[in-house]
Structure 1
Amino acid sequence: MLRVHFTGEALARTVLAAEPDFMWEVTTSLHRLQRRDSGVVFGPWRSRVLQRLPAGVQHLSFLAPSKGYCPDFLTPARGAPRFAQLEALRATHRATARTDLEEFRARHPRLRLPSWCGPLAEGDGRVLGRLADTADAYFDACLAPYWERVRAEVHRDRVQRAAQLARGGWDELFRTLHRSARWSYPVLELDYPVNQDLHLHGRGLVLQPSFFCRFNVVSLVDPGPPPVLVYPIDHDAGWLRPAAPSTASAKALAALLGGTRAALLQAAAEGAATTQQLACRTHTTAPNASRHLTALREAALIRSDRHRNTVLHSATHLGTALLNGQEAALPV
């Protein structure tokens, strides 16, 4: 059981994270890859990404096993941008690496540490650099194509939690945070693989919704860093592929955007892709696709992100909502 001990000051400083956290999603998605109980929610994603795992991912997977403790140093600079978290991982202090690996060995007594863990425990920058590079490559290959949907679902959860907080205060939010949550001020209790107490001592708790966290909440063992509680969000089983528009809505969308732009938006919603890939999917030329993608981007229906030497296009939350015939919140 995990027991989080609040004070009035800590409760006043507790916040809901605004975005999915880069390294928490990397580590929790590695849990999903290693488990065969992903079911209809993550099964299709798992089947796709298993075919394009980057080299070295087995090292990250070893440190992020499907159950139990994952070294705290793998999730540094929580809430910071991707590049900042990777740099923080590369700069892990020797004492931190050694302490976390000792904890890892104690929590997983049946696991035999591979030889590369020796230099890692000494804070070897080359090993830490390889872990950071692998996390970067893994994100590009396995998470980036779906990141816009991940962000949209985390934002949706945050809106729901904010409404709970406005309606019923921390009482309602904490009682519904997780199926195992038991809240009686000043202690929040949640099911956990081990017995652990987190004393906030006036520090605020960051409530971090996670897309790939599936069953239990996750927290840090080290009481030193800013405290965080990672919790799973609810999922739509068909999140991987947006529902195809009905014939009537497809015609309406084509009338609104034009046939080529509607087809490109639908293709981009099925997974991030390059201009050439989207052109092939929609049976048009790359220059024509590029011209229409520019218009869609200017309308905030797609976003274009550079990943190393490649630009990947994906549907925004607004674009996905338009495809699904949902009402989208627009800035006034």
Structure 2
Amino acid sequence: MLRICFTSDDIARTRIAPAPDPLWELVMSLHMLRPQPGDLLFRHWRRTIGPAIRQAGLGERLRLLLALTPTVGYFPDFLNPYAAIHGLEPGLEAVRSTPKTAIHHDLQHLAQSRPLPRGARLLATGDPRTLTELTDTMRTCYSLTITPYQRTIDSAVSQDRQIRTTALCTGGVEGLLASLRPVMYWNSGQLCLPTHPRDQEVHLDGRGLLLIPSYFCLTGPVTLFDPDLPPVLVYPVAKPPDALPIGQRPPGALSALIGATRAAILETLAAHPTTTTDLARRIGASAATASEHTTILRQAGLITSDRDRNRKLHSPTALGLALLNANDRT
């Protein structure tokens, strides 16, 4: 059992992540690429993504990334930096900037439980080229495993946040923590995770706890191994019986017509008007890249951009929605 111990300062500093953490979702999705015992939720997603991953031709780079994210037991903390809460690119930059000593320590710990491929040796030295190749592979995998399904993921996480926010409004932070049953329960200043594989006690020491709702988290809550890192707790959100249904497949004909990223942007904007910054986070791109794509889509008459006080919100035009509907029919 894992017990997370709170002080009054920790109660005051506990919060919920504003959106899915892209790198936690990526690591959890890499777990789901490999069938889990009793897992039927992601079977259609796995059948769709498997060929796309193979066609990407990632080879040894993918083998290294999968070796770093085993489905059972420890995986390196440096793959999930706190900066990723601000988006995919800040998270990948934080991975590339990880101190050599931290990478070496994490890989040394991982090597105690399983053999690692040759690329791990260079990675353990903090080799810049190997780190760049690793984050490039992570970005490619994110575009294949997460981006096409972002609308479904965001919707499920948003619904979970509403549940937690209601619990917070009616019962304070203790009510929020109590609402996380049955995967964990609140008891006398401790958040207890009975199914956690390690018997461990974590003291927050006034730092608070960041709760991160996750779509691809399946078997139970996950936290970082190093207790000195900013405390986070990743927990599963409710999912329909057939997670990531056929309707949320990677855009086909539309992707071929306007490109996968622009198709994903249209899909995202169809859910609700979005700023460039938020759009960049949702599609896993930089703000500059998102701005460039929205400019092209606006010039093509597929989206409009309207000022709302100090924000500019993008939304699809009738033509953009017609393209999305035609793509769904095909």
Please tell me the TM-score bracket, short chain as reference. 0.7 to 0.9
Q: Structure 2 matches for 1:141-160, cutoff 5 A? A: 141-160=144-163
CA distance 1:176–1:112, change in 2 (3 Å): same
Structure 2 counterpart of 1:271: 249
Confirm or deny that 1:75 pairs with 2:54. Answer: no
Quick check: which has more Rg, 1 or 2?
A: 1
Q: Equivalents in 1 of 2:90, 2:273: separation in Å? A: 28
Structure 2 counterpart of 1:262: none
Root-mean-square deviation over aligned CA pairs: 3.3
CA distance 1:227–1:8, change in 2 (3 Å): same
Q: Which has the higher contact order (CA 8 A, sep 6+)?
A: 2
Identify the range of structure 1 (26-35 vs 182-191) with the bigger mean alpha-carbon deviation: 182-191
Q: Equivalents in 2 of 1:73, 1:104: separation in Å? A: 12
| SS, match of residue 211 in structure 2 | strand
Q: How many residue pairs align between the two structures?
A: 276
1:6, 1:185 within 8 Å by CA — same for their partners in 2? no
- Give the letter for the 2:101 counterpart: A
| SS, match of residue 126 in structure 2 | coil
Confirm or deny that 1:175 pairs with 2:178. Answer: yes
| SS, match of residue 3 in structure 1 | strand
CA distance 1:143–1:306, change in 2 (3 Å): closer
Structure 1 counterpart of 2:236: 232
Shift of 1:28: 0.6
Structure 2 counterpart of 1:217: 221
Q: Equivalents in 2 of 1:270, 1:222: separation in Å? A: 36
Q: Equivalents in 1 of 2:284, 2:235: separation in Å? A: 29
Choose which of 99, 103, 106 in structure 2 pairs with 1:100: 106
1:178, 1:231 within 8 Å by CA — same for their partners in 2? no
Structure 1 counterpart of 2:68: 63
- Give the letter for the 2:203 counterpart: H
Q: Equivalents in 1 of 2:100, 2:256: separation in Å? A: 46
Q: TM-score, normalised by structure 2?
A: 0.74
Q: Equivalents in 1 of 2:62, 2:157: separation in Å? A: 25
Confirm or deny that 1:90 pairs with 2:96. Answer: yes
Unpaired runs of 5+ residues, structure 1, are 243-268, 280-285, 324-332
Structure 2 counterpart of 1:188: 191
Shift of 1:127: 1.6
Shift of 1:58: 2.0
1:163-194: CA deviation from partner (whole Å, max 9, x where unpaired): 11222333333234142423223211102111
2:6, 2:203 within 8 Å by CA — same for their partners in 1? yes
Q: Equivalents in 1 of 2:161, 2:78: separation in Å? A: 26
Structure 2 counterpart of 1:7: 7
CA distance 1:20–1:47, change in 2 (3 Å): same
Q: Structure 2 matches for 1:290-301, cutoff 5 A? A: 300=272
Q: Equivalents in 2 of 1:45, 1:306: separation in Å? A: 19
Q: Equivalents in 1 of 2:43, 2:217: separation in Å? A: 14
Choose which of 206, 231, 249 in structure 2 pairs with 1:202: 206
Q: Equivalents in 1 of 2:220, 2:12: separation in Å? A: 25
Structure 1 counterpart of 2:48: 48
Identify the range of structure 1 (48-57 vs 300-309) with the bigger mean alpha-carbon deviation: 300-309
1:35, 1:66 within 8 Å by CA — same for their partners in 2? no
Q: TM-score, normalised by structure 1?
A: 0.73
Q: Equivalents in 1 of 2:270, 2:227: separation in Å? A: 45
1:6, 1:187 within 8 Å by CA — same for their partners in 2? yes
Shift of 1:299: 9.3
Report % sequence identity.
33
2:177, 2:186 within 8 Å by CA — same for their partners in 1? yes
Q: Structure 2 matches for 1:236-255, cutoff 5 A? A: 236-241=240-245
| SS, match of residue 208 in structure 1 | strand
Structure 1 counterpart of 2:138: 135
| SS, match of residue 41 in structure 1 | coil
